[in-house]
Structure 1
């Protein structure tokens, strides 16, 4: 019996539709080969290092006590200065005129005082002879006292003007080194505007910053001699012992770290020299150490993949990280000794995924080659 062509086409279309509706079999999830390690009790300690800078114990921002135009700067950046040495000069012309006016006021007050004193002497003689009343003599005495007060006021004002003119010269109060120049000749500065920065001769500090989680440990080292070891960059000298002298009470608003100053006394260091401040960490027993590659973040927590030996599947286990020691992470909680933890390939794993140990696969790989050679 021969089928009509229309029936043949309809049958083919039905078969095509049925095949399109059927779903393909899902691909089997591959078994991942992972590197692992077995958790074993360990001891954590070591040292933590911070980049530091050598600074003077005392550093002053020098400025003029009066305003004016800078006409001269006698020192440059890095110069060593002595106490009393001239550093900078202002134009003193206006202050000289003020001093001259104050001296003239003193002379005028002196003349008035001399006249009042002479009048009082004459009026006392007239009172003794009975030519004037006691009230008139009291008025003369009051006038002489007022003239004396005006003379004292003029002298004090003249002294102020003398001091103001002397303030046009900026001198070093103590010996030290110029570490900053903030104004140049020709600049007009107000009173108190920083012009130079002077690092005083004397003890030196090593300054560095620590994060908040290390703050309590550093504060515990306060006043302990040699608690910090300082190594100068670019030099092969032995580490210098340093003592924590000061810890900032508030964090830096930008870096959110706390500044620490460690005293190195009069060690042979240079201002601004870069150094490494090393602090020994206390030894902690019963922790676990894992490679950095073993830890990942899951739901905002540090976690590791723990291998179930019975089913050879992995499950995420949150852990508590206590810090880092070299290229290893110190785990202080979350895992137990004897557990097998994945140390490589953590980024491609999912919860419940089957895995195989990389070392076992590597050991089984040469078997086919050996069988081929036996043939």
Structure 2
């Protein structure tokens, strides 16, 4: 998920209040200009601060991607076999070691079956003992032609058949024993019990969840990143995240080579470099990444903005007067103001990136826009340079 703030007048209400809170000042300035009448030339021209506009082909935006803290492993455990749940040994919040017994099924039927098959195995072994002794006497008698070849063959095959029967009986006992062992649910790793799905006496189906486990160990962070946010990410990089007003350093462990079909994001897995105490799986984190937006425009101080018509934004530019129209007085104006409508594409704390009817080199008024109006003749004061206006 990403969180962006569209650059609209509503989203820039704070800026709007700062820039338009002095509308009364504009009215006063207009009144003074109109009252001056023919004596306007005797009034010293207002000095304004400007800086030259310099076009840029792109700007750096800061996009915030929202992710989630996760445990390295999390499992819903159930029995491979169905049956009646006899005991649940742990409860929510319990910490367990790998191999610890968590729950047990009723095994009365399986134990009865095991006893039955064990008795059958003992019977086969008794028959096998007799067949072994019979075969030995038959082979001895065959040495002096006391028995026929048919009788010797029958004794041998009888012995071989009972050997096979013994192996079958042992396998059946072992199969039941496996089912009995699988009637005990054990922790596959050191974990914390986070949910209990079933209670004693409940008849469960095969695979039905009984307990939810979460690995008791280091945590990881998974963030879905879209678009150009992936361009600057590399495995092993260190990145800062924000969790509940805490700033933590992380390391990029993996950038998955697949894009989610529903979200169209690529999962980035981050590992915490610092102590993760106080963090829980499910906590949301913010990952801020620089994103280059290839769109031409101009960086301007936020103080250069003024309210335009119909809720749009505008700036003032100072255009040189014709040499013949300039007065000889040192206090006379040298430039006339014109207003240009602009679109605000991106806002930072003290500057904005705009598009509009601006050209490279236009002298943009950067302070005191509440004191000026279009068409006003002004003088340029100490000019700012565009060095403070780079992309950063």
In the alignment, the residues of structure 1 paired with residue 61 and residue 358 of structure 2 have an alpha-carbon distance, to the nearest angstrom, of 22
Which residue number in structure 1 is paired with residue 66 of structure 2? Answer: 51
> Aligned to 2:143, what secondary structure does the other structure show?
helix
Equivalent position of 1:268 in the other structure = 276
**Alignment partner of 1:130: what SS?**
coil
Q: In 1, are the aligned partners of 2:69 and 2:285 still within 8 Å (CA)?
A: no
**2-side partners of 1:209 and 1:87: how far apart?**
35
Alignment partner, residue 251 of structure 1: 260
User: 3-state DSSP class of the match of 1:239?
Assistant: strand
- Cα pair 2:138 2:152 within 8 Å, conserved: yes
Secondary structure of 1:115's aligned partner: helix
Q: Once the two structures are superposed, what CA deviation does each residue of 1:184-234 show, in whole Å capped at 9, x if it has no partner?
A: 333322222232222223332112323x324643xx6242231x2123315
Aligned to 1:145, which of 157, 160, 169? 160
TM-score, with structure 2 as normaliser: 0.60
Find the partner of 1:100 among 115, 120, 137: 115
Counterpart of 1:198?
213
The answer to whether the 8 Å contact 2:249/2:273 transfers is no
Q: For 1:196 and 1:243, how far apart are their aligned partners in 2?
A: 32
Assess if the C-alpha contact under 8 Å between 2:342 and 2:355 holds in 1: no
In structure 2, distance between residues paired with 1:151 and 1:329: 87
- C-alpha separation between the residues in 2 aligned to 1:102 and 1:266? 58
Counterparts in 2 of 1:260 and 1:70: CA distance versus 1, 3 Å:
farther
Equivalent residue for 2:227, pick from 213, 220, 238? 213
Q: Distance in 2 between matches of 1:166 and 1:122?
A: 43
Q: Is 2:128 aligned against 1:113? A: yes
Higher relative contact order at CA 8 Å, sep ≥6: structure 1 or structure 2?
2
Equivalent residue number for residue 182 of structure 2:
167
Question: Which residue in 2 is equivalent to 1:32?
Answer: none
Mapped to 2, the partners of 1:97 and 1:44 lie a distance apart of 77
CA displacement at 1:335 relative to structure 2: 8.3
Equivalent residue for 1:157?
Answer: 172
Residue 96 (structure 2) pairs with residue 81 (structure 1): yes
Match of residue 332 from structure 2? none
> Which residue is 1:224 aligned to?
236
Unmatched segments (≥5 aa) in structure 1:
1-37, 295-303, 342-356, 365-375
Alpha-carbon distance in structure 1 between the residues aligned to 2:109 and 2:94 = 31
SS in 2 for 1:112: helix
* Structure 1 range deviating more: 263-272 or 50-59: 263-272
Offset at residue 130 of structure 1 (A): 0.8
| Contact residue 104 and residue 184 of structure 2 kept, 8 A | yes
The equivalent residue for 2:46 is: none
2:287 paired residue number: 278
* Kept in 2: contact 1:63–1:170 (CA 8 A): yes
Distance 1:288 1:130 in 2: 116
CA distance in 2, matches of 1:198, 1:260: 24
The 3-state SS of whatever aligns with 1:72 is: strand
Distance 1:240 1:170 in 2: 38
Answering whether residue 132 of structure 2 is matched by residue 136 of structure 1, we say no
In 1: Cα distance, 2:80 partner to 2:351 partner: 57
Match of 2:192 in 1: 177
